Amino acid sequence: MATIHINGHTVSVPEGTSILTAATQLGIHIPTLCTHPRLPTTPGTCRLCLVEVAGGALKPACATPVCHGLEVTTDSPQVKDSIRGVLALLKANHPADCMTCDVSGRCEFQARPGFWGGAWAGQRMACPRQRPMLPMLGCRCLKCGRCVTACGLVQEMDVLGMKGRSRERHPAVLTEAMDLSKCISCGQCAVMCPVGAITERAEWREVEDQLDAKRKAGRGAGRAGLMVCVTAPAVRVAIGEELGLAPGTITTGQMVAAQRQLGFDYVFDVNFGADLTIMEEGTELLQRLRHAWGLDLPAEGSGGAGAGPLPMFTSCCPGWVTACEKSFPELLPHLSTCKSPQQMMGAVVKSHFAAKLGKRAQDICLVSVMPCTAKKYEAERGEMVREGEGPDVDYVITTREFGRLLRERHIPLASLPESAFDNPLGEGSGAGVIFGNTGGVMEAALRTAYELAAGQPLPKLEEEAIRGLRGIKQATVTLPPTAPAGMASRQLRVAVASGIGQARHLLERMHTGHSPHFDFVEVMACPGGCVGGGGQPKSADPLVLLKRMGAVYSIDERSAIRKSHENPSIQKLYKACAEFLGEPGGSLSHQLLHTTYIN
């Protein structure tokens, strides 16, 4: 252990601990922009955490390890002068466009003492906006390198690198163009950016325009007609945080109330779409298993899903689907043919729900609130746009954009009385909500697939082996001896990868035979799953993912219905509306709820 003194206060920490960490233990806050508790390196590039060590030398606190007896001062005149100089340099190279920047109000640079006022050399205004999902505005860049670390060391994608010299130096795509790169639009670079140099492509202004048009024209009569909002599982445990509440605060009821105040005519839940996905994906998995076990051949009219190879991989994460298309094309036949819950919601709202109201698909404007930047890309894919009718999902806004919309309209989320989702597309099970956590899609699928195969419920719903933040998790579930013939005592081996870098490791292990054969594999491109999505609130809390995950699991525990196949609205969609969907895996459900991903 090393005992050191910071501003006259004493603390003992393990040798090698950074001055920054030691100061934090003492409750002394040293601002920094390039360090982040969820990134594995402390590059010391922003120089805002300079401190004075004995002898008068200035050192970056984030990258300087302590040694026994070290004396540190964080607020000497020399430190203050140097930081003022660093700040002036950063500001000289940063545009004064806070008025129009999408992260204004949540920007770490703005939060720095000394940010406001003083000279902003050049006063350069915003660079032209581009069309990619994650526009880069090099002129805002502070050159901290967090985005490069997130992309290279966490996601292991190596799409970004620092290019150029001195004031022109900023992160850039290493290939010629974003389109030609391996980028999967996961947004982990954006969520780590302390300013707005990489942000999601903003759609909240267009959504606001649509809502304003409707408000002016009266209920349901605006330019876009009926406004429908659907919200992903992970948003309800993060929108409160985006608006200043503690991480992991659950605000489902207030979130629905806020969406109504914004002017949406109907507010539905993507958890319903998640339950629908489980019905289709569970059925598809069983078809593939039965085929592999030689129990039967795929049924006629099943769209060929039953003939798919094992292991089956989940297909609900668009970052992962893009990774398969760009980097692992040999896995495309292994992807489940199911559309994601977002796209299933879109398809059901624009067909079944529209028909019930006597509307056409194009009379409905569907806005999806997602923790994810890649969902914007998913909604625009050719397979998700119906000829002559337009896209199933019209706009995708991230949790951050949703927060921005509420701040713009002065809607006080935290103090709103709770409201409930509209029915029937607003009813979701506990299985649906855990989709938001890494391992959740798998756990939800097991709850249903086991029961379909074994003819009895899982003895324990919680599958602890695939919970938590480990990068690769696996479990084996054994069907009971009483299961129908051919199924009895069979083993189902499953794996879960959290983050695209970990997925790559899992694939390598499977390829080299270092992992057992798996039947079903879940991949979520972002570490932690959707709770850690690229569109979620930016947070410097090292425990933030665990807090959001805990909140998601607590919603499941408190749910009266915890299995997708027990959701009465889902049963109704298949049974009472037999003329609409028929049975899981049936031909209409194939047309609406499935797709094939090709390169």
Instruction: Give catalytic status of residue 168 as yes or no.
Output: no
Of 10, 82, 26, whose CA–CA distance to 51 is shortest?
82
For residue 549, how far is the Cα from the chain centroid? 12
Instruction: Give catalytic status of residue 325 as yes or no.
Output: no
Q: Smallest distance from the beta carbon of 134 to ligand SF4, in angstroms?
A: 5
Query: Which residue in 62, 98, 144, 316 is the catalytic one?
Result: 316
* Residues β-bridged to residue 4: 11
Question: Which entry of ligand HC0, ligand SF4, none binds 453, CB below 5 to 8 A by partner kind?
Answer: none
Question: Which entry of ligand HC0, ligand SF4, none binds 441, CB below 5 to 8 A by partner kind?
Answer: ligand HC0
338 near ligand SF4, judged by CB under 6 A: no
Instruction: Give catalytic status of residue 489 as yes or no.
Output: no
Instruction: Give catalytic status of residue 451 as yes or no.
Output: no
Q: How many CB atoms lie within 10 A of CB 333?
A: 14
Instruction: Give catalytic status of residue 526 as yes or no.
Output: no
Q: Smallest distance from the beta carbon of 434 to ligand HC0, in angstroms?
A: 9
| Contact residue for ligand SF4 among 4, 6, 137, 184 (CB under 6 A) | 184
155 near ligand SF4, judged by CB under 6 A: yes
Q: Smallest distance from the beta carbon of 341 to ligand HC0, in angstroms?
A: 3
Identify whether the C-beta of residue 493 lies closer than 8 Å to the C-beta of residue 517. Answer: yes
Question: Which entry of ligand HC0, ligand SF4, none binds 340, CB below 5 to 8 A by partner kind?
Answer: ligand HC0
Query: Which residue in 143, 350, 375, 547 is the catalytic one?
Result: 375
Residue reference for tokens 């009926």:
226
Instruction: Give catalytic status of residue 378 as yes or no.
Output: yes
Query: Which residue in 281, 427, 463, 566 is the catalytic one?
Result: 281
Q: How many residues bind ligand SF4 (CB under 6 A)?
A: 14
| Contact residue for ligand SF4 among 44, 60, 145, 187 (CB under 6 A) | 187
| Contact residue for ligand SF4 among 6, 61, 107, 189 (CB under 6 A) | 189
Question: How far lies 556's CA from each of 188, 414, 435, 473, in Å?
Answer: 27, 22, 10, 21
Class of residue 40 by CB neighbours under 10 A (exposed 0-12, middle 13-18, buried 19+):
exposed
Cβ-Cβ contacts under 8 Å for 7 (sequence gap 6 or more)? 28, 72, 73, 74, 75
Q: Smallest distance from the beta carbon of 154 to ligand SF4, in angstroms?
A: 8
- Return the C-alpha torsion angle 178, 182, 186, 190, nearest 10: -50
Segment interacting with ligand SF4 (CB under 6 A) among 5-13, 147-155, 412-420, 564-572: 147-155
Whichever of 286 and 338 has its CB closer to ligand HC0, that residue is: 338
150 near ligand SF4, judged by CB under 6 A: yes
Residue reference for tokens 């074994």:
454
Which residues contribute to the site for ligand HC0 (CB under 6 A)?
232-234, 270, 273-274, 316-317, 340-342, 370-372, 375, 435-436, 441, 529-530, 533
Class of residue 180 by CB neighbours under 10 A (exposed 0-12, middle 13-18, buried 19+):
exposed
Q: Smallest distance from the beta carbon of 187 to ligand SF4, in angstroms?
A: 5
**Within 101-140, which residues bind ligand SF4 (CB under 6 A)?**
134
DSSP 8-state class, residue 181: S
148 near ligand SF4, judged by CB under 6 A: no
Angle (nearest 5°) at CA 9 between 6 and 14: 65
Question: How far lies 183's CA from each of 58, 134, 257, 323, 339, in Å?
Answer: 38, 10, 36, 8, 21
Instruction: Give catalytic status of residue 564 as yes or no.
Output: no
Identify whether the C-beta of residue 194 lies closer than 8 Å to the C-beta of residue 109. Answer: yes
Identify whether the C-beta of residue 237 lies closer than 8 Å to the C-beta of residue 246. Answer: no
Segment interacting with ligand SF4 (CB under 6 A) among 150-158, 199-207, 358-366, 565-573: 150-158
Q: Smallest distance from the beta carbon of 173 to ligand SF4, in angstroms?
A: 7
Whichever of 158 and 296 has its CB closer to ligand SF4, that residue is: 158
Tokens coding 400: 């951050």
Active site amino acids: 281, 284, 316, 336, 375, 378, 383, 530
